[in-house]
Structure 1
Amino acid sequence: MSSIEINKTGEPDMLQASDGRLTLSVPIQIKRRSGRKLVTLPNGEIEKTRPWDNAATPLQLALARGYRWLNMMESGEAKSLREIAAREGVDNSYVSRMVNLTTLAPDIVAAILDDALPNHITLFDLAVDPPVLWEGQRERVKRALYT
C-alpha cells in the first residue's frame, strides 16, 4: 500500500526492507502558481508533466478573449461591444475590460503568456482603466508588486 510521509530532514533517503521492498524519500515542496498546485523539486525546478498543468491561466484566457472580441469589432462581425456582450451573455463592462487588455505593453503581454506575473497581480489591476502609455502600465504593474 502506498503512503505519503513528510521527510523532515529535507534530504533524499532510500530504505530497503528485508522482504525486498524499497522506500524512497524525496524532498519536494508543493507550491501554488496561478491557482494550480505544482511540485517543486529540491533544485528549485518545477515539474510539469501532467497535461492539465499546461492549461491556460485566467489571465491568459482573458487576454485571448480580448483579442478575439477586438478582432470581431475590426472585421465587422460585431458592430459594438454591447453586441458582443449580448452574444456572449456577459456584461458590457466585462467585454470592455477584456478589450482593454489588448492595449497592454508587449512585455506585459509576454509576461501574461509566459505566466511570469506574480499571483497577486489580478485581472482588475491590468484591465480596469489601463494607462494609455506603456510606461504608465509598467509603473502600475510595479506598484502592484509592492502593495
Structure 2
Amino acid sequence: MSDIKIHKTGEPDILQASDGRLTLSVPIQIKRRSGRKLVTLPNGEIAKAQPWDKAPSPLQLALVRGHRWLVMLELGEAKSLREIAAREGIDNSYVSRMVNLTMLAPDIVAAILDDALPNHITLFDLAVDPPVLWEEQKERIKITLFT
C-alpha cells in the first residue's frame, strides 16, 4: 500500500529502498477553486485541466440561474420571484439572491465566468445584499481579500 505525504516545499526526488521499491517525491500544492481542486506545480503553473474540469463552477451556475430567472420576470413568464421559487421548489430568498447576481459589476461577472475569483470569495459574499454601485461592489470584494 502506498502512502501519500504532502510537502509544500522541496525538489522532485526519487529514492530507492534496499528492497528495490522506489519512492517518488513531487512537490505540489492543491488549491481549491470554486469547489474544485487544482494541482499547482512548484513553479506556480497549474497542471493541465482535465476534461471533467470543463463543468461550470457553482458560482457560474448561480449566475446563469439568476439571469434566467430575471428574463422569466421580464418576459412575463413569471409574475414574481415567489412564483419562480414555487415552480423550482426552492426558497424564494435563494431565488432573490441569485437574481442579485445579475446586478454585479461587469468585471466581477467576467471573473466569475473566467473562474478567476479568489477561492475565499463565496456565493454568499456576492449575492447577499450587494451594493448598488459597482465601485462599492469591487471595494467589498477587496475588503474580503484582506480579512
* Pairwise same-fold verdict (TM > 0.5): yes
Alignment of 1:132-143 (within 5 A): 132-143=132-143
Residue of structure 1 in register with 2:122 after alignment: 122
Deviation readout 1:49-99 (Å, 9 max, x if unpaired):
322222222211111100111111112221211111011001111111100
Contact 1:31 1:40 in 2 (8 A): yes
TM-score, L = length of structure 1: 0.82
Contact 2:35 2:58 in 1 (8 A): no
Alignment of 1:47-126 (within 5 A): 47-126=47-126
Deviation readout 1:111-139 (Å, 9 max, x if unpaired):
11112212221212111111111111111
Contact 1:111 1:117 in 2 (8 A): yes
TM-score, L = length of structure 2: 0.82
Q: Structure 1 regions of 5+ residues with no counterpart? A: none
Structure 1 8/105 Cα, relative in aligned 2: closer, same or farther at 3 Å? closer
1:46 aligns with 2:53: no
Q: Structure 2 regions of 5+ residues with no counterpart? A: none
Structure 1 121/9 Cα, relative in aligned 2: closer, same or farther at 3 Å? closer
Shift of 1:34: 2.1
- Mapped partners of 1:102, 1:120: distance in 2: 21
Contact 1:15 1:24 in 2 (8 A): yes
- Mapped partners of 1:62, 1:7: distance in 2: 35
Alignment of 1:6-25 (within 5 A): 10-13=10-13, 25=25
- Mapped partners of 2:126, 2:132: distance in 1: 12
What is the SS of the residue equivalent to 1:47?
coil
Contact 1:28 1:42 in 2 (8 A): yes
Contact 1:63 1:98 in 2 (8 A): yes
- Mapped partners of 1:67, 1:41: distance in 2: 36
Shift of 1:10: 2.3
- Mapped partners of 1:15, 1:139: distance in 2: 49
Contact 1:38 1:48 in 2 (8 A): no
Deviates more, 1:102-111 or 1:38-47: 38-47
What is the SS of the residue equivalent to 1:46?
coil
